[in-house]
Amino acid sequence: MSPLGKAGRAPAAHESGFAVHREGVDRLLASYRAIPDDANVRLAKKTSNLFRARAENPAPGLDVSGLAEVIAVDADAKTADVAGMTTYEDLVAATLPYGLAPLVVPQLKTITLGGAVTGLGIESTSFRNGLPHESVLEMDVLTGAGEIITATPNGENADLFRGFPNSYGTLGYTVRLKIELETVQPYVALRHIRFHDLRALEATLAEIVIAKTYDGERVDYLDGVVFTAEESYLTLGRQTDEPGPVSDYTDMDIFYRSIQHDSATPKRDRLTIHDYLWRWDTDWFWCSRAFGAQNPKYRRLWPKRYRRSSFYWKLIALDRRYGIGDRLEARQGNLPRERVVQDIEVPVERTADFVEWFLREIPIEPLWLCPLRLRETGEDARTGRSWPLYPLEPDRTYVNVGFWSAVPTVAGQQEGAANRAIERTVTEFDGHKSLYSDSYYGKDEFAALYGGEIYTELKKRYDPDQRLLDLYSKAVQRK
């Protein structure tokens, strides 16, 4: 198999790609017109990477079945036109044979490009490439008013282009996106560096983000894992075309366990670029252990095609539908556990502070670390107008901390006690949290953090009849 993907050569250009796309757009518009005027507009999709509860909606949804394809790849210009519901798995499969990849590839295969732009995404290139929406050149958006408009950084609808990231489908849905691609090499050489002190990890991470080198070697990819306050790691990746043996973490070996070692010397490893991009998906980071998939006895019998995040999502859906986890806790005399599934960002200089607080207060491990810096500079970025619904400062390094599990609850405890404590602490540390999971902010605090009057004005312009839920209702009230 080619190290650049499952295809051994670049696929033939699809001359009919845009024609097929137009047919999908026609079906989308027809489905919009079929939704009653007094019903909320929503997507008719079977899968989601959101962890917050969603209310049942009896009205028909938007037909996005024709919007899940890569429309065209321009290898010379290093761009791709992609339908909004295209998964990164399919996008990567289309670009790798050209030796190209999206600038940021979120960790899970079923995340869609449109979802990563409207709901944010991050990965180990974010310290040099920012967030997925920063590599978008233009996008076609179906607004709440039922119009498809093109938004670009400097065009008539530039306000929507800037306000779309982190809007979670409350301003509209992407129909087509044109994005930048970057050249990639066939392999990624890895170094896993162990730290016994979180302050040392924080300092080293901050230095690497700026220098983009470590100990004389270039760093193209950067993330980390915290197991305990005394055991944490940074993983540094370097693209290379040097042939040689590679590891396989889709079988019995588990990627995050391969990181661990006792030596002061970095542990080295190699993956194909394809397997590197999806290194976390096989075990949904470490979350597959909740289903027994990391137990060697069961893993041996677990079909490879089901070792992926999309299948674990189905198991989660079954648990939600039938309350399996809560029933098992009740049999042991325990209260239902509180789900704590979050990604937050804090400035790099507060990373150790936050992680130390978290390890003291919240019984969840491991934690994922991923640094990021905005690509953009300039006056708009400095004043926070660049991406107003998730206003990060330019020329400042942040660290995403991801944690995904559940914690015990106590009788009489306020609902969402752990999540509320995390929200307070993140705000105290001048950070933000993603909105894909449970949130408990009050309206005023939410507005201050996520766009305020700018969002209100965008809502008036692009969804004047309130056909789509507003962001607070969708992210916090969960109507």
At 38-77, the pLDDT tens digits run: 888 887 665 555 554 555 555 678 889 889 999 999 999 9
Buried/exposed 368-383: b ≥16 CB within 10 Å, e otherwise: bbbbbbbbbeeeebee
Query: Residue 76: inside a domain, yes or no?
Result: yes
Q: How confident is the model at residue 252 (pLDDT cuts 50, 70, 90)?
A: very high
Q: What is the pLDDT of residues 75-131, one digit of tens each?
A: 999 999 999 999 999 999 999 999 999 999 999 999 999 999 999 999 999 999 999
Domain-located, residue 138 = yes
Distances from the Cα of 119 to the Cαs of 267, 299, 329, 389, in angstroms? Answer: 34, 33, 32, 10
Q: Do the domain assignments include residue 479?
A: no
Q: Is residue 178 part of a domain?
A: yes
- What CATH number is given to the structural domain containing 61? 3.30.465.10
* Higher pLDDT pick, 317 / 400: 400
Q: How many domains does the chain have?
A: 2
Residue 398 within any structural domain of the chain: yes
CATH number at residue 425: 3.30.70
Is position 291 within any domain? no
Residue 130 in tokens: 């920012």
- Indicate the residue among 132, 153, 183 that finishes a domain: 183
Q: Does residue 72 belong to any structural domain of this protein?
A: yes
Q: Domain span at residue 393?
A: 323-440
Q: Backbone phi, then psi, for 438, in 5-degree steps?
A: -65, 135
Residue 460 CA to residue 467 CA, distance in Å, equals: 11
Calpha distance 327→333 (Å, rounded): 10
What is the residue-wise DSSP string for 357-417?
Answer: HHHHH-----EEEEEE--S--SHHHHTT-SSTTS-PPTT--EEEEEEEEEE---TTPPTTH
261 within a domain of the structure (yes/no): no
Please determine, for residue 348, whether its predicted confidence score (pLDDT) is greater than 90.
yes
Over residues 332-345, mean pLDDT: 89
Question: For residue 327, what pLDDT is reported?
Answer: 81
Q: What is the pLDDT of residue 384?
A: 56
The domain boundary, picked from 183, 216, 247, lies at 183
The mean pLDDT value of the chain amounts to: 90
Q: CB neighbours of 216 closer than 8 A, spacing ≥ 6? A: none
User: In the listed set 183, 202, 226, which residue is the last one of a domain according to the structure?
Assistant: 183
Does the predicted model carry a pTM greater than 0.75? yes
Q: With H, G, I as helix, E, B as strand and everything else as coil, classify residue 314.
A: helix
Q: Specify the pLDDT at position 9.
A: 39
